Chains A and B, each alone.
Chain A
Amino acid sequence: MSSRKALFLVLAIALVLGSLPVTAQDDQINMTMWVRSIPFQTQALVDEWNANNDSQVELTVIPSGEFVTKMGAAIAAGEPPDIASIDLIYTPAFAAAGQLVDITEYVRALPYADDLTPAHMELGMYEGRNYAVPTGVDGSFIIYNIDLFEQAGLDPDNPPSTWDEMLEAARAINALGDDIYGYWFSMGCSGCNAFTFLPFIWASGGDVLSDDYSEATITSDPIVREALEFYNTIWEEGLVPEGASIDDGSNFVSAFAGGNIGMSGTGNFAIAGYTTDHPDLNFGVFHIPGKDGGAASFGGGDVIAIASGTEHVDEAWRFIEWTMSEEAQIEIYAANGQIPVRLELVDNKYFEGDERQKTAASALAVGHTPYTTVYNDLFNDPNGPWLEMLQVAILDGDIDGALELGQERFTQIMEG
Chain B
Amino acid sequence: MSSAILNLSWEQRRKLTGLLFVTPTVAFVMVFFIVPLIMTVYMSFHDWPLFGERAFTGLENYQELSNDRQYRKSLDFTFRYTVLVTPPIFILGFILASLVRRNIPYIGIFRTIFFLPVVIGLGVSSLLWVWMLDDRIGVFNKILLDFNLVPKAQLFLGRPNTAMNVVILSVVWKTVGFTMILLLAGLQAIPDELYESAEVDGAGYFRKLVYITLPLMRRFIALALILSVIGSVLSFDQFYIMTRGGPRNSTISIVYWIFNNSFTYFKMGYGAAMSIVLLGILVALTGAQLYVLREKE
Q: Which residues of A contact B (CB under 8 A)?
A: 68-69, 72-73, 75-76, 94, 96-99, 188, 242-243, 245-246, 248, 376-377, 381-383, 388, 391-392, 396
Contacts and interface: CB of A to CB of B under 8 A. Distances in A.
B260 interface: yes
B17 interface: no
A98 B52 contact: yes
Given A72-B50, A72-B266, A97-B52, A245 B249 contact: no
Given A69-B263, A377-B264, A188 B50 contact: no
Given A245-B158, A246-B155, A72 B246 contact: no
Given A245-B155, A377-B264, A383 B135 contact: no
Nearest to A413: B265
Given A242-B135, A243-B135, A246-B158, A383 B266 contact: no
- Name the residue among A69, A75, A76, A383 with the largest chain B CB count within 10 angstroms: A383
A99 B260 CA distance: 23
Contacts of B265: 376-377, 381
B247 interface: yes
Nearest to B155: A246
5 tightest A-B contacts by CB? A72-B50, A97-B52, A246-B158, A383-B245, A72-B51
Contacts of B51: 72, 75-76, 94, 97, 99
B208 interface: no
A377 B158 CA distance: 23
A242 B157 CA distance: 12
B158 A392 contact: no
A34 to B, nearest CB: 14
Contacts of A242: 135, 152-153, 155
B50 A388 contact: no
Contacts of B152: 242
A350 B79 CA distance: 59
Contacts of A99: 51-52
B248 interface: yes
Interface string B50-77: 1110000000000000000000000000
Contacts of A97: 49, 51-52
Contacts of A96: 52
A382 B135 contact: no
Interface string B133-155: 00110000000000000001101
Contact of A69 (B50, B136, B248): B50
Interface string B105-142: 00000000000000000000000000000011000000
A99 B256 CA distance: 28
Nearest to A392: B248
Interface residues of B, number: 24
Contacts of B52: 96-99
Contacts of A72: 50-51, 266
Nearest to A190: B244
B252 interface: yes
A383 B263 CA distance: 13
Contacts of A377: 264-265
Contacts of A73: 50
Contact of A243 (B136, B247, B249, B256): B136
A95 B157 CA distance: 39
A391 B260 CA distance: 20
B263 A382 contact: no
A382 B50 contact: no
A276 B35 CA distance: 53
Contact of A248 (B49, B155, B244, B248): B244
B264 A243 contact: no
A97 B264 CA distance: 16
B281 to A, nearest CB: 22
A248 B263 CA distance: 19
Contacts of A75: 51
B157 A246 contact: yes
Nearest to B266: A72
Contacts of B136: 243
A382 B158 contact: no
Given A69-B50, A73-B50, A381-B260, A243 B248 contact: no
Nearest to A408: B69
A376 B263 CA distance: 11
Contacts of A388: 248-249
A382 B251 CA distance: 12
Interface in B152-188: 152-153, 155, 157-158
Contacts of B155: 242-243, 245-246
Nearest to A381: B264
A388 B245 CA distance: 11
A101 B260 CA distance: 29
B157 A383 contact: no
B50 A383 contact: no
A179 to B, nearest CB: 11
B247 A246 contact: yes
A98 B53 CA distance: 10
A314 B252 CA distance: 47
Given A98-B52, A246-B247, A391-B247, A383 B158 contact: no
A292 B101 CA distance: 73
A388 B246 CA distance: 9
A383 B247 contact: no
A68 B264 CA distance: 9
A26 B3 CA distance: 52
Contacts of A396: 248
Nearest to A98: B52
Contact of B50 (A76, A98, A248): A76
A391 B49 CA distance: 30
A73 B135 CA distance: 39
Nearest to B52: A97
A72 B262 CA distance: 12
Contacts of B256: 383
Given A97-B51, A242-B152, 12 more contacts: A69-B50, A96-B52, A99-B52, A242-B153, A243-B136, A243-B153, A246-B158, A376-B265, A383-B246, A383-B252, A388-B248, A391-B248
